[in-house]
Chain A
Amino acid sequence: MGAVWRKIADLLAITFIAVGVTLTFDTFLIYLTTLFLIFTIFALSYNIILGYLKLVSFGHSLFFAAGAYGVALFASWVIPDMLLSFLFGIVLAAVLALIVGYITLRHSQIYFAMLTLAFAMLFYALLVKWRDITGGSDGISGIPRVSTLFSFPTTETYYMFVLGCFIISFIILKLIDVSFIGLIFRALGDNESRFKFLGYNPVKYRILALVVSGTFSGLAGALYALLYRAVTPDVAYWTVAAEPLVMSLLGGSAYFMGPVIGAAVFVGLTTATARLAEIWQLVMGLIIAALLLGARGGILGVMERLWRKRF
């Protein structure tokens, strides 16, 4: 019994804090926690590629934006129903991940990074230029948070929907982490040569990892669009993909909880320094430099080292 509790302790802790936040009735705090939950899903999904496969992707802005624009386009052109457009956004991201994966994942390392960047920029250009459908640089606004069965008119009520999505996503991604498929992903990132010489097809498993990763990035994007009830092409700009990268490195990409810690620090820092105009970029730059020069394992890596020194 104790073992089970320990296994889900991290989820319980986050849920406990997240529910506690609602009791403050502080709209800004609830809004910030919403952002944290969305970015945590994004960063956790990104870390499947970075942490397990040891690949850097600049294409995750594409999947995030596919989720966001999937919601907006479906709601404004097909049926203005929140649930259906939400699901459409996720499916769109999954399909695009499959296509991008099929084309890019035969290539390794730097070629993969550059190809995903190219696709991300292509998608961004498409959203800006295809004005009649996407609204160009103005984007799409007035996305409904109403479905036949439910509606989430306020930030506080929508927060519960995001929290629900977060818990489901967290459980699925955690199950992947501890299951045999997680082991397969880690093995592939560790030693591709031996992976092949055990009879595993590396391209197949990379595509599978990217589809899982892209699907949850799309889910995060869909939640993001519904939070603001609007999207602009900014969500598709390739630097968006750098955010989960920084979060994962910040928390420690070798750990399942790394992206979670990273997202919390990232959201906290950007909010704390946002009033000082562009200074958050300076802060972020300094942190990244410090991480890469002195603490490659991220926050959790440093904590583990300190812990070991004590005993």
Chain B
Amino acid sequence: MAEEVLRTENLVKRFGGFAAVAGVSITFYEGERIGLIGPNGAGKTTFINLISGHLKPDSGKIFFKGVDVTKAPPYKKVMMGMNRTFQIPSIFKSLTVYQNVQLAAKKAGQPYSVDKLLTMLGLEKVADVKAANLSYGMMKIVELAMTMVSNPSLLLLDEPTAGLTSQEKKQIIQVLRTLPERCTIVMVEHDIDLVFDFAGRVVVMHRGEVLSDGKPEEIAVDTKVREVYLG
């Protein structure tokens, strides 16, 4: 069995009376490619926000590489090897693409060189362009580059291909495939075909809870999942 990377114990987050995440206990292992799916409002993004430290849980615990990180601020988790992207790409819009990636690389101790990474992702032509002037798809690629540069052991991707053209989607997937095998990737995604193609494990959330968890082919025939999605 591969080594455990992340474990949550009975994780709960309420917004007023509404439990967005209602007691999730789950374990992710090294090198897993996980697709996190579920209808709108299922709590997928909230779950990602809790793990990454963007939100504080009301109760429950989070262990990263065996260390209790429930109360750790985001920057500490990043230094431990966790990173994430956002639904709306979160980059430094007033800086150039090069500066964006440079800031990430310096902090990470530069396992990649900035120029090499930019070339690898086809960003070398826009290196000196202000990030605010990029297309939406390009912003997503830049954000991904910034999270990759630290060589994370856990990468959380919140709808990495939403709002992209099919060409750009292909590019993102190509980039993700270049990540080292031992990196665990959790991807929240609405494009089911893409998830079933990319993920080796699919987790379905519904009303803040894990409804189903298994291999893509098992999920595809799961009657509970079909009910949630179809009616």
- Footprint of B on A, CB under 8 Å? 180, 183-184, 186-187, 190-191, 193-194, 196-202
Contact = CB atoms under 8 A, between A and B. Distances in A.
B204 interface: no
Main secondary structure of the interface of A (DSSP, over half): helix
Nearest to A194: B90
B130 to A, nearest CB: 11
Contact of B103 (A184, A193, A201): A184
Interface string B67-94: 0000001110011000110100011111
A13 to B, nearest CB: 26
Contacts of A191: 90-93
A193 B93 CA distance: 13
B224 to A, nearest CB: 34
Nearest to A199: B78
Nearest to B74: A196
Interface residues of B, number: 27
Given A190-B94, A197-B74, 8 more contacts: A183-B103, A186-B94, A187-B92, A187-B99, A190-B95, A198-B78, A198-B146, A200-B75
Interface of B: 52, 54, 73-75, 78-79, 83-84, 86, 90-95, 99, 102-104, 106-108, 143, 146-147, 150
Nearest to B79: A199
Given A193-B54, A194-B146, A199 B107 contact: yes
A120 to B, nearest CB: 29
A199 B107 CA distance: 7
Contacts of B103: 183-184, 187, 198, 200
Nearest to A183: B99
A196 B75 contact: yes
Contacts of A199: 75, 78-79, 107-108, 150
Nearest to B80: A199
B106 A190 contact: no
Nearest to A196: B74
Nearest to B99: A183
Contact of A200 (B91, B99, B107): B107
Contacts of B94: 186, 190
B91 A197 contact: no
A190 B146 contact: no
Contacts of B107: 198-200
A77 to B, nearest CB: 43
B90 A201 contact: no
B91 to A, nearest CB: 6
B95 A197 contact: no
Contacts of B90: 191, 193-194, 197
